[in-house]
Chain A
Amino acid sequence: MKKFLLAATAAFALAGPSVLNAAEEIHIPKEEWSFNGVMGTFDKAQLQRGFQVYKEVCSACHSLQYISFRNFTDLGYSEEQVKSLAAQYDVEDGPNDDGEMFKRKARPSDHVPKPFPNDALARVANGGALPPDLSLMTKAREGGPDYVYHLLLGYEEPPAGLELTPGLSYNKYFPGHQIGMAKQVADGIVTFADGAPSDAAHIAKDVTAFLHWAAEPKLEARHSTGVRVTLYALIFAVLAFLAKRRLWKDIKH
């Protein structure tokens, strides 16, 4: 068995998995994002709308395991709002002094609860497919946020002649085009608290921005620190150049 696994892995890696990767290039159009660019930041109102989409739609199947409720202050919520948001969820705690597990209301320090207690149950509920955790989704796929956005909107009728595997949907942007997730984003499925437009494109955009925050929560600090550090280094380089030139003035080389 061990030998077989070894040989199989090596063969797989060395010979190239041409079957799985019938690599047809899928072109993913680039989108405008507030977090792009040298000083790019998150749009907090957009993140709140995106969170609403996650909460009302995605969270039925997808976990967000690396996010704690306390992190939602990044979205512009006050600590009080985060407390009451957390309190809408029940989490298991314990054991108590009687040795029993018990349910209590979630606190800001708790992670966002997962929709399924384990992967096996998640598969059973989703026709055998495991809905992936979304905390790192925009970094874990080629194309990043652009890919996630277009995937959400990329559901189409399969081309004539293609026999879809039962239970799968056709998606223009999914590698291999047959995806386990059915179409979720449509006009008006969410009514935004701030009255923002809720057509499919806006919903997809908002939830993708939210997911990019979840994947890269320190992005704003990264950009602002980066500008300061890089400017400092630039000035340092210029001064070093001037000092070097002066020092070498009389050295023939």
Chain B
Amino acid sequence: MSTEKSVWRKAFEWHEERLPLVSWLDHSLGTKYPVPRNLNYWWNFGSLAMFMLAVMIFSGIFLAMNYTPHVTLAFDSVEHIMRDVNHGWLIRYMHSNGASFFFIVVYIHILRGMYYGSYKAPREVLWWMGILIYLVMMATGFLGYVLPWGQMSFWGATVITSLFSAIPAVGDSIVTLLWGGFSVDNPTLNRFFSLHYLLPFVIVGLVFLHIWALHVPGANNPLGIDATPADKIPFFPYYVMKDVFGLGVFVVIYFIAVFWFPNALGDPVNYVKANPLVTPPHIVPEWYYLPFYAILRAIPNKLLGVVAMFGAILIMFVLPWLDRHPVRSASFRPIYRVFFWLFVANALMLGWCGAQLPEGLPATLSQVGTFWYFFHLLVVLPVLSWVETPKPLPASISQPVLKAAE
């Protein structure tokens, strides 16, 4: 083999000297990015979330080519996509189910962070960027659900935007601004379409910051202890391959939903064109908002309900200071582990309540669940930070790993 560099190699190096794109990628997600060797499959959901973001943006671009944001045409243009556009049915079902799967993946990603204490020092800013992504995702999902202009689109938009009227003094002006008029109408649809196209790119920017903030301290791991260089292996090829395998399993499940149950997660009422004169008997948001919808309705005062609903998400920004226990991973915190699963069960129960009529048992459970949500974060976590004795931590990642491997 000659030591002479090929012309391609020279050209590549010439380019890298001026713009080190490939080196940058290699440091970001390649051989120069060392990752703890003990990550389990719960760590796959970050890359899956990124995959879903890409699916949503690409399918969305093609939908936008055939969609018409006008109150008289929006519903019909969606049906046009479903019936006349080549593979339009596939693109639309991938997009509508993609939203659900994006949220499923992100919820698991968030809960993984909570279980293994990934929000704790030195990863607080990484955690903040994640919450920001989630907030923008919620806005984007809501805006997108309005676009088909079905009955639930219209009435969901009316109910959710009306929430802002609870804000004292400026509430009504804000609602008028959101609507672009005095009711949910064509200007509302137009601005929602515009923003629905804009926000995903804001998410892309935030994902960039999220990954940047990840690279400064490096990834957390199931043991929650700091990894030494000996504990790490390069992201490429090891975790790239592991993520690719995870992706394969994930898309099988996603495709089963898209091809055989495309409307299972949707509300049938949204196949009826929006009609401002007919209110559907039961207005419910998409499933991924239901726990927060339950919190909103649990509190009889409208303003306080809105505050509690937004507070339920915003409080996550201070999670690293509510839970000040020095041990990150729940594996070494037997009491926290119990409360973590209680928190998950409580969130699922709130989700169930959000889908029911707010009377009788669901109404009571919503209030119990709302109380527990905040009690867990504001009381249980700080108290546990003081009183919980953790199990002994291993000296290093390699120690238990290498011992077990012997």
Contact = CB atoms under 8 A, between A and B. Distances in A.
B partners with A: yes
A23 interface: yes
A193 interface: no
A9 B357 CA distance: 15
Contacts, number: 143
Nearest to A141: B268
B263 A23 contact: no
B175 interface: yes
A240 B79 CA distance: 38
Interface residues of B, number: 58
Contacts of A16: 282, 357-359
Main SS of chain B's interface residues?
helix
A240 B59 CA distance: 25
A132 B269 CA distance: 13
Interface in B123-161: 155, 158-159
A241 B256 CA distance: 20
A103 interface: no
A233 interface: yes
B22 interface: no
Contacts of A27: none
A66 B89 CA distance: 14
Interface string A17-44: 1101101000000000000001000000
Nearest to A253: B37
B279 A17 contact: yes
Interface in B302-350: 302, 305
Contact of A229 (B172, B249, B259, B405): B259
B245 A5 contact: no
A139 B83 contact: no
Given A14-B358, A142-B268, A225-B259, A241 B245 contact: yes
Contact of A233 (B162, B252, B260, B283): B252
B89 A13 contact: no
Interface residues of A, number: 54
Nearest to A8: B279
B38 interface: yes
Interface string B273-297: 0000001011100000000000011
A21 B241 contact: no
B183 interface: yes
Contacts of B395: none
Given A15-B358, A237-B251, 14 more contacts: A16-B357, A18-B357, A21-B282, A66-B83, A136-B271, A136-B272, A140-B269, A226-B258, A233-B248, A233-B252, A243-B244, A248-B238, A251-B233, A253-B38
The 5 A-B residue pairs with the shortest CB-CB distance, nearest first, are A226-B259, A237-B248, A140-B271, A240-B245, A252-B405
10 contacts: A17-B357, A66-B79, A175-B281, A217-B83, A222-B259, A237-B249, A247-B238, A251-B233, A252-B402, A253-B37
Interface of A: 2-3, 5-6, 9-10, 12-18, 20-21, 23, 38, 66, 71, 132, 135-136, 139-142, 144, 175, 215, 217-218, 221-223, 225-227, 229-230, 233-234, 236-241, 243-244, 247-248, 251-253
